[in-house]
Structure 1
Amino acid sequence: MSEGEAVLTGKVAVVTGSGRGLGRAYARAIAAAGAFVVVNDVDADAAADVVAEIEAAGGRAVPVIAPVGPTATAGALVAAAVEHFGRLDAMVTNAGVLRDRSIGKMTDDDFDVVVETHLRGTFTCARAALARFKEQANEDQQSGGRLVLVGSPAGQRASFGQTNYSSVKAGIVGMARTLAVEAARAQVTVNALIPVALTRMVATVPVFAEAVAAVERGEPVPAELRERGVGTAEDVAPLLVYLLSDAAAGITGQALGVGGDKISVWSHPTVAAETSRTGGWSAQAIAEAFPGELAQHLQPYAPDLPAEASR
């Protein structure tokens, strides 16, 4: 299955934050696969450019210019899909911002704006989409729909200087698991997409700055980066197309990663080791037992730097 195959013919999707970078690649790919797309961004010119690109390729798209986070924006996105295309089949919550600083330098505003856009924006858009899916089920007796919530490796492992971003991306993956349970009866699938791509949002990471510049010049991603799972935004988009297609109807509650030459399934948090003591534990008993029974199971928390190439 390639992103150009018409596997989404007639479906209607909203992609938040789709004026540039990963969002632009998502919107273009699902349009190429046959979907009608609501392109959302805060930059009217960027959104208009993406709509024009989709239409020039024979697709259909409309822009909605609004910041993601407020409930009113989520409602407007769903309303635009229904007004222009008659229904809603998929919501892709991609919009995001960065305010990178180590915690001692991070302000309340730095933290709050990231939470508002990523976490609250994902919540409000997912809630609005689910409400529309249920309404459509009542209207035409056909339940179903797709939610794809965009996470990041920064939410799965440590990412220095991104306390705010790591927190919301971890929260988004947790949200996907819970929504998958809540939406199962309506036959709505909910998955988290964990992309790794060389975009402008990654250019601030020194080791990737030149690679991002090279990609923007139209040069290929170096083979050693592709092999480690770092590629372009266009490398990520086919997984999204697949998740929105009928072929992925049985996949839900998952965190799926893609980048460069790799696709991955991230594990859910699970108990790595445990031990018991009749009557409970004292601090002294823990100190005695921990080195021999638990310490060897402690988990790595920080990745090799290339795995941080998703912003």
Structure 2
Amino acid sequence: MSLCKDRVVIITGAGGGLGRAYALAFAEAGAKVLVNDINLPAAEAVVGEIRAAGGQAQANNGDITGYAAAGEIVRQALETFGDLHVLVNNAGICRDRMFASLGEADWDAVMEVHLKGHFCLASHAVKYWREQAKGGVAVQARIINTSSGAGLQGSIGQSNYAAAKGGIAALTLVQAAELGRYGITANALAPAARTGMTEQVFAETMKKPEDGFDYFAPENVAPLLVWLGSQESQAVSGRLFEVEGGKLSIADGWRRGPERDKGGRWQAEELGAVVEQLLGEAVPAQKVYGS
């Protein structure tokens, strides 16, 4: 399989779970992979697996939450492999609390790793790709972000995580709208898979079966990443994919629903009946996870 032959890919949080599955799948598809993880031995272990299978990879433990450090991650990919084509923003953390008990440190930590981490690396990658495009290179670059079902519909006990993941979904839409002129696509996914984070909460639900199809295996998500990272996906941008087991779907985002136009200013006393009518016509939102 050579769908991504010689394409250079940075994957964050690739020392285990989904990131490891992505790294192995990209390498199998012919890509050259920079395996980023804050845990350097874990990143090096994945690199070892890739090289043992005949692939090309390099380990990196740069800090995705620092702007200058993120620039060094991109620089390493360029110096090691000579180019960059795909950025997979996968790294994440959880600091779950009910909102009434959520502290500032828990809020800031999740925003920093998820939202700021997505920004820092993408900013450096985009600047590189924009300069290529301005220089006449036919760029076919990819940003692949990681949102979550929690970001799409909320999740009890995860207000910080849900807010960050919802922000990533919106960021993806803007990146897609702005960056297409340079040959860059931006898509996101909301994966349901067994990882270090999900096993803490859904250990019984997501445990590996003794036989048969491993529904929550991270490897089930990886083929979509490989395709999105390939040149074949150039026409697809600004989409959010949900992946679970053998299921693949495209999330239907926020859009304007039913409306009433008075042609002038509403009075507060009028709005109760009007809102009741609109709610009766609107498609009900999905329930918040855990509610």
Short-chain TM bin: over 0.9
TM-score (norm 1): 0.88
Q: 1:290 aligns with which of 271, 275, 291?
A: 275
Residue 259 (structure 1) aligns with:
244
Where does residue 104 of structure 2 map in the other structure?
108
What do the CA deviations read for 1:105-144 (whole angstroms, capped 9, x no partner)?
A: 2111101011001000001111111011123334562223
Gaps of 5+ in 2: none
Indicate the larger mover: 22-31 or 68-77.
Answer: 68-77
- Secondary structure, in 3 states, of the residue corresponding to 1:291? helix
Q: What number of residue pairs does the alignment pair up?
A: 291
Equivalent residue letter for 2:223 = P
Q: How does 1:1-311 map to 2 (within 5 A)?
A: 5-139=1-135, 141-205=137-201, 208-214=202-208, 219-220=211-212, 226=215, 231-297=216-282, 299-302=284-287
Fraction of identical pairs, as percent: 36
Deviation at 1:302, TM superposition (A): 1.9
Q: Deviations over 1:169-213 (max 9, x none)?
A: 0000100110111111111111011111122211232xx312434
Deviation at 1:257, TM superposition (A): 1.3
Q: Flag structure 1 segments of 5+ consecutive residues without an equivalent.
A: none
Q: Aligned to 2:111, what secondary structure does the other structure show? A: helix
Distance 2:78 2:277 in 1: 60
CA distance in 1, matches of 2:242, 2:264: 43
Equivalent AA in structure 2 for residue 259 of structure 1 = E
Does the 8 A contact of 1:146 with 1:190 survive in 2? yes
Instruction: Name the SS of the counterpart of 1:198 in structure 2.
Output: coil
Equivalent residues of 1:158, 1:301 under 8 A apart: no
Distance in 2 (CA, whole Å) between partners of 1:141 and 1:164 is 40
Structure 1 residue 219: Cα displacement: 5.0
C-alpha deviations, 1:21-73, integer Å up to 9, x for none?
11111111111100000000110110010000111111011111123211122
The structure-2 alpha-carbon separation of the partners of 1:274 and 1:45, relative to structure 1 and needing over 3 Å to count, comes to same
How high is the TM-score relative to the length of structure 2? Answer: 0.94
Deviations 1:253-291 (A, max 9, x none): 111111101101011210121111132211111112222
Contact 1:199 1:212 in 2 (8 A): no
Name the Cα RMSD after superposition: 1.8
Change (3 A) 1:51 1:140: farther
Residue 293 and residue 160 in structure 1: after superposition, are their counterparts in 2 closer, same or farther (change >3 A)?
closer
